[in-house]
């Protein structure tokens, strides 16, 4: 894998992003129209991760200071395990900090052990649970990062 770069999501990216969405989320994936709707909202920011010009992941946040929420984060199965999710989450945290948010919330499937482990490494704590939210026996864990760390700009040491 070459160096993965991040940039803001643009309208033409929705086709590639939606392809990853349907590959990663086999139950109730977002439609292309939902992504277009999200990009049109002034309270949302979305980024894509590119590897050699190919979109391999995406993430978005809802920003209404002092609060922020991870709307979605996904990495193409072909790029998983390479740190792309970490880069995307770091960028969402940095975006929330730039918007003067005090906390970042997210929900994650209780059976998504790798995502939960990543969030915990960043300091997210479980604050609530929605029982059987995704399916019978699959809860939604509500996690929060507070306070938000100060994040250096990308490219700084």
Element (H, E) at 13: none
The question of whether 133 is a catalytic residue gets the answer no
Q: Rounded CA gap, 42 and 40, in Å?
A: 6
The question of whether 107 is a catalytic residue gets the answer yes
Q: Which of 107, 133, 153, 156 is catalytic?
A: 107
Q: Please provide residue 57's backbone torsions phi and psi, each rounded to the nearest 5 degrees.
A: -175, 170
Confirm if 141 and 132 have CB atoms less than 8 A apart: no
Count CA atoms closer than 13 A to 67's CA, side-chain side.
5
How does DSSP classify residue 52?
T
Write the DSSP string, 62-93.
EEETTEEEEEEEEE-GGGTTSSHHHHHHHHHH
Q: Which of 119, 133, 134, 156 is catalytic?
A: 119
- How would you class 9 by CB atoms within 10 Å of its CB: exposed for 0-12, middle for 13-18, buried for 19 or more? buried
Residues classed as catalytic: 107, 119
């Amino acid at each position: 894998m070459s160096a993965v770069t991040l940039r803001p999501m643009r309208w033409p990216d929705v086709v590639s992003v939606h392809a990853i969405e349907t590959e990663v989320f086999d139950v109730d994936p977002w439609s292309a129209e939902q992504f277009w709707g999200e990009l049109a909202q002034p309270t949302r920011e979305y980024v894509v991760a590119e590897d050699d010009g190919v979109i391999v992941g995406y993430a978005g946040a809802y920003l209404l200071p002092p609060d922020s929420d991870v709307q979605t984060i996904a990495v193409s199965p072909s790029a998983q395990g390479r740190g792309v999710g970490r880069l995307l989450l770091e960028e969402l945290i940095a975006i929330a900090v730039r918007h003067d948010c005090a906390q970042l919330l997210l929900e994650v499937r209780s059976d998504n052990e790798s995502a939960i482990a990543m969030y915990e490494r960043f300091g997210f704590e479980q604050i609530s649970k929605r029982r059987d939210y995704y399916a019978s026996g699959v809860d939604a864990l509500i996690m929060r990062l507070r306070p938000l760390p100060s994040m250096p700009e990308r490219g700084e040491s």
